[in-house]
Structure 1
Amino acid sequence: MGHDRLIGEVYLAAAEIAARVAELGAEIAADFEGREPLLVAPLKSSTIFLADLSRALPILHTIDVIEMAAYSDGRRGGVRLLKDLDVPIGGRHVLLVEDVVDTGLTLAFLTRTLAERDPASITSVTLLDRPYRRLVENIGLRYVGFTVPDELFAGYGLGLEEQWRALPDLRIIPTEALPAAATDAA
């Protein structure tokens, strides 16, 4: 069985994504003209978007990555850092590069954590946004690629059980492709 049958229909074709990333690059370049922003992306699913956005930016900039993990202490969930930034951000203009923003909890945590390091500014860009799921407001989300429905996606960096991240387009994961644990929770 090929990838197409396993992960469903194309939601955004590679050409649509590339065109929107180019537009985002132009918007960001205009807003950051004369500054050298630091693009920071959480591993793993944001890395393809980060690479394409970096190539779309005609201004000087640097990149770094951070890795986070969700945890639960039995009473409540949270986020912790697994891999921190390699460069200091004091006085820098930081652009957080996200794959998907929905509740805003992870982006709020990351913004709060990095704000303690005295950057000149922190703003965010996301490829996919689900504003109707937001639990946290005022998260500094300035640039949005696409507003999407409440579906699970694969491709363009997003995966399911570490598969299909390298697909060039974004596909909807059909319910029958989900692991039993995911469908039981629904």
Structure 2
Amino acid sequence: MNRLYQDAQRLGQEAVRVVILDRAINLLVAGGPSELTMRRLAAEIGASTKVLYTMFGSKEGLVDALYREGFARLRRAQQNIERAADPLAHLNNLGTAYREHALAEPAYYRVMFEQTLPGFQPSAEALAVAETAFDASVEAVAACIDAGIFPRGDATEISKIFWAAAHGAVSLEIAGHFPPELATRHYETLMKAVGQGLQAGTS
């Protein structure tokens, strides 16, 4: 019998939650929606289905938790980047962290952005968590505006331009359209071009 659940219990409730979510997302991405059932997941971690229903309420609640977890991890990855003296360098470092995080956790990335479960609609709470994932990027853009690097504008909207560029490149890379030996260079070139385009507005 699998003892993942029992082993995690000794580390506390947060460890239990992470074990469940990580096993659930692997089932969902590897086998599709039909493979992610409460019964299958309970067997995978060595727990009863009652544990899962108590924690998440339903399969939809479980997927909502996966969505929230993905964005919470992205937020932590962004916040862990040490602030550079140059605001634009810091913004680019955040872009690099976005790519590295997506490549390290592609299963969560797919749940966050690819509607892995047909018909799933994130809850208001999940959408709020998603919004906060890019606070560090918004702050970096605001710093670029204050320093005169970018023209005056809405820092949140400008941050979304960077996100759109980063997301597009990362999605293509994960899908295998960018060869590994070229992917880093493509990404860095794109992010540099976006920054230069915005700087042109200050001239």
If asked which structure has higher relative contact order (CA below 8 Å, sep 6+), I would say 1
Fold conserved between structures, TM > 0.5: no
Q: Larger % of helix: which?
A: 2
TM-score (ref. length: structure 2) = 0.21
